[in-house]
Amino acid sequence: MRTKNLLDNLKRFFAIAVLGAASTAFATPQIQHWQAASGARVYFVENHDLPMLDVAVDFAAGSSFDPAEKSGVAGLTQSLLDLGSEGMSEDDIARGMADIGAQLSGRLDADRSGMSLRTLSSAAERDRALEILARVLQQPLFPEAVLAREKARLVANLKEAETRPESIASKTFAKAVFGDHPYGRTTSVASAEMIQRDDIEAFYRAHYSAKTAVVAIMGDVTRAEAETIAQKLTAHLPPGSEAALIPPVAMKIAANEQRIAHPATQSHIMIGAPGMARNDPDYFPLYLGNYILGGGGFVSRLMNEIREKRGMAYSVYSYFVPTKQPGMFQIGLQTKKEQADEALQLVRATLRDFVAKGPTAKELVAAKQNLIGGFALRIDSNKKIIEYLSVIGFYGLPLTYLDDFTGMVDKVTAAQIHDAFKRRVNPDAMATVIVGAPEEKAEPAK
């Protein structure tokens, strides 16, 4: 492929949608919302086009809730959910799902932890799949032997990651941007090895509560069925506590640059700083601005300067990670070592120029044309729609979010983008990490 699909890795970021500027208006999904008796918030779109059902349940139980000394607890808790429940071994769970062709998967980011299920909607398959999911969510056993094995696998993966330039860069970069804030923490071999079953159990009890649960349901069930499903999946969750708050992020950081040696042929370069939150008042100006700067695939400024004009990289991008508290703004690229410094200077100059002058009128029109004209592509499958339901629910976005999206994009002005970038993105106060740095200047790895 011509480019790595970074978009796939950043689905959350694209929690956005709208009405076709291509004059043909079409219906956005009708989102139904209620609170289950358990307290869980439910978001539902009824659609009978295909005989299938998607369900996702998320909790405020992401990696930023890890105890400071035991980073990795959130991830292990999540991954152990379907490895043993009351009355079902890990093999019973896996076989139970496979026997009916259902697909169960877990997910974790800094804010959220969740499980999602895709199943046929015919009664036998659907009921069985939901019964297993209900147990997985509400009666996990966290067996000691399974934990020991999974910890060993996690540690092995972490050791492998310590040799990979992109992993070294990400880890160093998160720390440089967020310091001691939970968003800057990453799991280390040492922290993973300290985790005990009690930590997992305690984490589950504290964070997997119906109070923070968001249930998204999409597909071939009725409203009445969806109500029953949501209640069954959340009625027996632990009482938990109120959602723990993620502390505020220190938005200003000092300019700093870290160069780390690595035998790779390319330098992995990351530049950035704390960016914006999901509910940020500057969300749309920053989103459009980023499309123009480095988010818009082959037509972005960074792509044009680094790849199209000079052939210096295969992949160069920028993005905001819009989380509960402001997540990172990051620019990244890989380029062969010999030209890393030249590429870095070009990226910095491109960013500086964009922040200083803002977008051109032509760029803004092009960005709007793409985001508005391409709205239909954002909601053209059950899979994409359920992602929006989860994001709308978890971040408390308006139920009209999809209906409003094109309008929100359309009203952004070049002046707003310029102003938002000037206030929020300071090229002189950013973290830079170069792994596989040109050798004469690099510090030895670790």
Partner 1 sequence: MRAKLFGFLLFLLLLPAFAAHAGVFEKTLSNGLKVIVKEDHRAPVVVQQVWYRAGSMDESAGATGIAHVLEHMMFKGTRSVPKGEFSKRIAAAGGRENAFTSSDYTAYFQQLHKSRLPLAMKLESDRMRNLLLSETEFGKEVKVVMEERRTRTDDEPRALLYEKLMATAYQEHPYRHPVIGWMNDLQSAGAGDAREWYRRWYAPNNATLVVAGDVKAAEVFALAQRHYGVIPARKLPARKYSSEPPQLGTKRLVVKAPAKLPYLVMAYHAPVLRDPAQDWRPYALEVLAGVLDGNESARLNKTLVREQQLASSTGVGYDSTARGPGMFVLEGTPSEGKSVAELEAGLREQISLLARDGVSEEELKRVKAQVTASEVYKRDSLFYQAMQIGQTESIGLSHKDIPLMLQKLQAVTAQQVQEVANEFLKDDSLTVATLDPLPLSSERKRMKGANHHAH
Q: Which of residues 82-101 bind partner 1 (CB under 8 A)?
A: 90-91, 94-95, 97-101
Which of 131, 144, 160, 342 binds partner 1 (CB under 8 A)? It is 160
Q: Looking only at residues 30 through 49 of this chain, which bind partner 1 when binding is defined by CB under 8 A?
A: 49
To which residue do tokens 């490895």 refer? 83
E strands of 190-288, at which residues?
Answer: 214-219, 256-260, 266-274
155 forms part of the interface with partner 1 (CB under 8 A): yes
Cα dist. 408→30, 133, 284, 288, 411 in Å?
19, 37, 7, 10, 6
Are 372 and 406 within 8 A, CB to CB? yes
Q: Looking only at residues 294 through 313 of this chain, which bind partner 1 when binding is defined by CB under 8 A?
A: 296-299, 304, 307-313
Side-chain-facing half-sphere of 269: CA atoms under 13 Å: 30
322 forms part of the interface with partner 1 (CB under 8 A): no
Residue among 298, 337, 297, 304 nearest 319 (CA): 297
To which residue do tokens 């409003």 refer? 404
- Smallest gap from Cβ 168 to partner 1, in A, equals 10
Stretch that binds partner 1, among 134-142, 152-160, 178-186, 246-254 (CB under 8 A): 152-160
Which of 64, 172, 187, 266 binds partner 1 (CB under 8 A)? It is 266
Instruction: Please state, in angstroms and rounded to a whole number, the distance separating the CA atoms of residues 231 and 286.
Output: 38
Are 40 and 234 within 8 A, CB to CB? yes
3-class DSSP assignment, residue 121: coil
How many residues sit in the footprint of partner 1 (CB under 8 A)? 80
Cα dist. 24→21, 47, 107, 156, 365 in Å?
7, 21, 36, 53, 19
- Smallest gap from Cβ 195 to partner 1, in A, equals 17
- Smallest gap from Cβ 13 to partner 1, in A, equals 15
153 forms part of the interface with partner 1 (CB under 8 A): yes
Are 320 and 275 within 8 A, CB to CB? yes
Q: Looking only at residues 325 through 384 of this chain, which bind partner 1 when binding is defined by CB under 8 A?
A: 334-336, 366, 369-377, 379-383
Are 213 and 237 within 8 A, CB to CB? yes
Q: Looking only at residues 411 through 440 of this chain, which bind partner 1 when binding is defined by CB under 8 A?
A: 436
Q: DSSP string covering 402-423, please?
A: HHHHHHHHHT--HHHHHHHHHH
Which of 315, 353, 399, 408 binds partner 1 (CB under 8 A)? It is 315
- Smallest gap from Cβ 357 to partner 1, in A, equals 20
Q: Looking only at residues 119 through 138 of this chain, which bind partner 1 when binding is defined by CB under 8 A?
A: 119-120, 125
Instruction: Please state, in angstroms and rounded to a whole number, the distance separating the CA atoms of residues 90 and 181.
Output: 35
Residue among 234, 149, 245 nearest 197 (CA): 149
391 forms part of the interface with partner 1 (CB under 8 A): no
Q: Looking only at residues 9 through 28 of this chain, which bind partner 1 when binding is defined by CB under 8 A?
A: 20-22, 24, 26
- Smallest gap from Cβ 172 to partner 1, in A, equals 15
Q: Which is nearer to partner 1, 10 or 100 (CB)?
A: 100
144 forms part of the interface with partner 1 (CB under 8 A): no
Q: Which is nearer to partner 1, 180 or 380 (CB)?
A: 380
Stretch that binds partner 1, among 9-17, 118-126, 281-289, 388-396 (CB under 8 A): 118-126
Q: Looking only at residues 245 through 264 of this chain, which bind partner 1 when binding is defined by CB under 8 A?
A: 261-264
159 forms part of the interface with partner 1 (CB under 8 A): yes
Which of 35, 222, 256, 265 binds partner 1 (CB under 8 A)? It is 265
Angle, helices 414-424 vs 340-357, to 10°: value is 120
171 forms part of the interface with partner 1 (CB under 8 A): no
Residue among 441, 255, 429 nearest 337 (CA): 441
Stretch that binds partner 1, among 64-72, 145-153, 233-241, 389-397 (CB under 8 A): 145-153
